[in-house]
Amino acid sequence: MQSSNPFMKSLTKSTTESQRAQAMAHQQGGYGQTGYAQPGYAQDPYATQQAYQQSPNYGAPQKAADRPMTVDDVVTKTGITLAVIVVFAAITMVIGGSNPSLAMGLTFIGAIGGFIAVMVSAFGRKYDSPIVTLVYAVFEGLFVGGFSWLLSGMAVGDSDAGAMIFQAILGTVGVFIGMLVVYKTGAIRVTPKFNKIMIGALIGVVVLALGNLVFSLFSGDAGLLRDGGPIAIIFSLVCIVLAALSFLTDFDQADQLIRAGAPSKMAWGVALGLAVTLVWLYTEILRLLSYFMRD
């Protein structure tokens, strides 16, 4: 079902590992803004709100750009970000049909560019920057399109490629909705302890994935974590579970910012965080499906 080209396999492994690194960086780096709630730190949104009230400018007329963030802001900014990803993913897939080499290059560029954008947002105090978020969306769209084109078998003319991609999208949407329900019902509560466990688990996954990548580069083999065997299937399932739980942290971050009365522009950072998690979840589901679709 998939191409046997060693270069394509290597690129598939290396670009996917960057997704986990992005997710971990987003969790570890918090959101690069002093005064707002950050995952992994027991910051009280009500204390933040009190700090706003004690500000000399509290109660003064604010510019429209500085109005408090709302759920609609999060939905709108996330929708725009995902739309950009979809558009550029489609462009890469179309290019792949006529120029496979260019598509592979765009996939690699997209993975590296997306990773850098997340680093800038997490550690460069650019959490509220629409430019950083949309730049990430462009790069990540290039990666997602190329990754889907390659891993689904579309690169080798597999007739089931479209169905596999659709199943991965459906699974991603289903998990997202399911975790939103879990968060709203309080079935799993996001606490400082929960965030610490998540960060530790993400670090562990990234270390294992990078170790497997280094091994594969020197041995020419996919490695136990990516060879489609039982261990590879279990590893993908673990990644899917972690990506799903990461949604809870994203939802909680948005909730705290809204309660704290953070500026509306902060919704761009929330959108980036949700996009990182969605892309990671999608790529892991697609990879898992590819294991079962192999001849």
Return the ∠ at Cα 26 (arms to 273 and 261), rounded to 5°: 55
Q: State the burial class of residue 187 (Cβ atoms within 10 Å of its Cβ: 0-12, 13-18, 19+).
A: exposed
Q: What is the pTM assigned to this prediction? A: 0.78
- Please give the full DSSP string across 160-181, using - where no structure is assigned: THHHHHHHHHHHHHHHHHHHHH
Q: What are phi and psi of 11, to 5 degrees?
A: -65, -40
> What is the pLDDT at residue 275?
96
Nearest-angstrom CA–CA distance, 135 and 5: 30
End-to-end CA distance of the chain: 6
Q: What is the mean pLDDT of each run of 10 residues along the chain (295 residues)?
A: 46 54 56 40 43 46 68 96 96 90 93 92 86 96 92 68 90 96 94 94 92 85 84 94 96 94 93 95 93 76
Tell me the H-state helices in the chain.
6-28, 45-53, 71-98, 100-123, 130-151, 161-185, 192-219, 230-259, 267-293
> What is the pLDDT at residue 13?
52
Q: What are phi and psi of 263, to 5 degrees?
A: -60, 150
> What is the pLDDT at residue 28?
53
Tokens of 139: 């790069």
> What is the pLDDT at residue 242?
96
> What is the pLDDT at residue 123?
87
> Which of 246-272 are b and which e, b meaning 16 or more Cβ less than 10 Å from the residue's Cβ?
bbbbbbbbbbbbbbbbbbbbbbbbbbb
Tokens of 23: 């997710």
Find where tokens 């020197």 sit. Answer: 218
